[in-house]
Chain A
Amino acid sequence: MTTTINTVEEHLKPQPATEPRWQGAQFLTQVAVMTGRSLKALKDPRMILMAMFQPLIMLTLFSQVFKSMTQTPAFQAQYPGVDYINFLLPAILMTTGVQAAMWSGGGLANDLKNGVLNRFRAMPVSMLSVLIGRSLYDVVRNAIQLSVLAIAATVVLGYRGSLTGTVAAIALSLFVGWGVSWLFLALATWLRNVEVMQMVGMMAIFPLMFASSAYVPLDGLPGWLRVVAQVNPLSYAVDAGRGLALGTAELAPFLNAAGIAAAFAVIGMVFAARGIRKP
């Protein structure tokens, strides 16, 4: 080691002036660099495959088990002549997007154990860029998963929604998932525990998924559950996505879903940015 040090010790010299050599990257560069850092995880496809497994199973099972749902009066009244798979896929797209938000929290909790985060805190770097990088990575990963789901449903299960509508539904799911993910990112910066994050995620997501219009039309739910499902923000997203895919889009659920997701994003960002500064 000694010899190499002596020959190249020039490079260790601090700059003579008090001005540092570099002034710190612009915020957008920071975000790009942080996103690139997170995206390197995509080189390992196991995470994506694992995360895909559950929605694929749910899509396959539910499309068979609940097929007879189309015979019920509630379904026929609200969705006359609609195949169950066409009714189900947009909902699975939304629930998968929201589940991915939950995974974001676990992923960040894991990343927070990475020593390099400590270095960032003592650098001219906004810790918000770490969070944004993480959430953009989640959006990319989610986009891959949702596309695979839609293609599998079309090829294997006979899904026949409108193409542009389905793409729009995926885009909405990505936005909703992104918004919700900020709540979980904020939680992760304060809890800092992967297991706890997964438990919290499960507890929050499962009731939201089932007490909603995702698998059964609202009118097909028992009275008290219908009330819950009506105020469940996930129902707005499901209704909006379904409207897009079936070509019966209405503006109200779309605006509700996007608005709530945006609000979650802002609230989550504020708390996450504060939480992540703690070493």
Chain B
Amino acid sequence: MTEYMIEVDEVSKTFGEVTAVDGVSLYVPRGTVTGLLGHNGAGKTTLVNVLSTVLPVTSGSAKVAGFDVTAQAAEVRRRIGLTGQFAAVDELLTGHENLVLIARLLGASGKEARQRADELLEIFDLTDAAHRKAKTYSGGMKRRLDLASSLIGHPQVIFLDEPTTGLDPIARTGLWEVVENLVADGTTVLLTTQYLDEADRLADSITVLSEGSVVASGTAAELKAQVGSRTVAVKVADRGDTRLALLALTEAGLHPVHDEERHTISAPATASTDLAVAVRALDAAHIEVAELALTEPTLDDVYLNLNAAPAA
């Protein structure tokens, strides 16, 4: 039986008249990453704040690491790490002081706290900057210190709220590698992001939020399958052959459309043999092909498709 480290059951959160999270259910198995995808205001951060016991739930119930976020908040807090959208570090303290502070609050002795701080500074490549105030750190360094602070107590569940927003590509990749290492070691991660490639790369399962509700969920592949089919895309070498190619593909039973701007002919691929059908038809008509590809729908398609749909 799967052990769920995050169990969200019909959770809603309202602020006065505004419903930020509306009846969300979500289950995250141990040692996996679930990506919460959604645009600004979709309710991602509110849901993370509810699950990390920062905000009380309005209705519904949620368990994290097996403990109820309302009734057993103290137990939950001992087992989670939270890296929010804005670096939760004390900029007036040095990197080392920040980590020692958090470790001491978690209950480490002074010596243990300093040891753990040194370990994490090394892992996150901050040893050289350890004794500089955090306000002198670059955005990427602050993020690393932030994540290091979240990992001090060896949390079983980590919440990452848009962890790579504002980071340069190298820092982003570095952070992804850290997350992948954590997951490989059995940590459970709930990640919010606006970046589809991030969810695609890190998340075992994706939940798409829109206006506080779940509008889709599944693996990246399942979500892609939900949206449209794959397409056969053809670029002919000689533009003069375009009409001929359209004719040949139509006779072969496909439904090609010509995109003048991109100089591409595309046809929805309904069967797996459609690519071979297209190749044979073009070859028989003696048309020289510059490019031929079977394209998968991207998560962008999923995202745009779902968000374009009116909220039910």
Contact = CB atoms under 8 A, between A and B. Distances in A.
A, B from the same assembly: yes
Interface of A: 1-2, 4-5, 8-9, 11-15, 18, 20-26, 29-30, 33, 37, 40-41, 114-125, 279
Given A5-B123, A29-B107, A30-B105, 5 more contacts: A12-B151, A14-B156, A21-B153, A24-B106, A114-B91
Interface in B211-250: none
The 8 closest A-B pairs by CB, nearest first: A22-B107, A119-B88, A116-B90, A122-B82, A115-B88, A122-B52, A1-B174, A124-B77
B90 A24 contact: no
A124 B81 CA distance: 11
Contact of B156 (A9, A18, A23, A121): A18
Interface in B48-76: 49, 52-55, 65-66, 74
B38 interface: no
B78 interface: yes
A112 to B, nearest CB: 12
B185 interface: yes
B79 A20 contact: yes
A13 B154 contact: yes
B205 interface: no
B300 interface: no
Contacts of A124: 74, 77-78, 105-107
Contacts of B86: 115, 118
Interface of B: 49, 52-55, 65-66, 74, 77-80, 82, 84, 86-93, 97-98, 101-108, 119-120, 122-125, 146, 149-151, 153-156, 159, 174, 177-178, 181-182, 185-187
B108 A22 contact: yes
A13 B185 contact: yes
A225 B254 CA distance: 95
11 contacts: A14-B155, A18-B156, A20-B78, A22-B106, A22-B107, A25-B104, A37-B90, A40-B97, A116-B89, A116-B101, A118-B82
Contacts of B82: 118-119, 122
Nearest to A125: B105
A26 B106 CA distance: 9
A69 B156 CA distance: 70
A41 B187 CA distance: 36
Contact of A116 (B78, B80, B88, B178): B88
Contact of B125 (A4, A14, A18, A33): A4
A15 B186 CA distance: 10
Contacts of A18: 65-66, 79, 156
B87 A115 contact: yes
B102 A12 contact: no
Contacts of A122: 52-54, 77, 80, 82, 159
A25 B89 contact: no
Contacts of B151: 12
A126 to B, nearest CB: 10
Given A9-B181, A13-B185, A18-B66, A23 B107 contact: yes
Q: Which of A12, A120, A122, A124 has the most CB of B within 10 A?
A: A122
Taking each of B80, B90, B103, B174, which has the highest tally of chain A beta carbons within 10 Å of its own beta carbon? B90
A47 B106 CA distance: 31
A118 B54 contact: yes
Given A20-B78, A118-B88, A279 B49 contact: yes
A2 B170 CA distance: 11
Contacts of A25: 104-107
Contacts of A37: 90, 93, 101
A10 B208 CA distance: 33
Contact of B104 (A11, A12, A23, A33): A33
Nearest to A14: B154
A232 to B, nearest CB: 37
B54 A279 contact: yes
A4 B123 contact: yes
A33 B105 CA distance: 7
Contacts of B181: 5, 9, 12
Nearest to A123: B77
Nearest to B155: A14
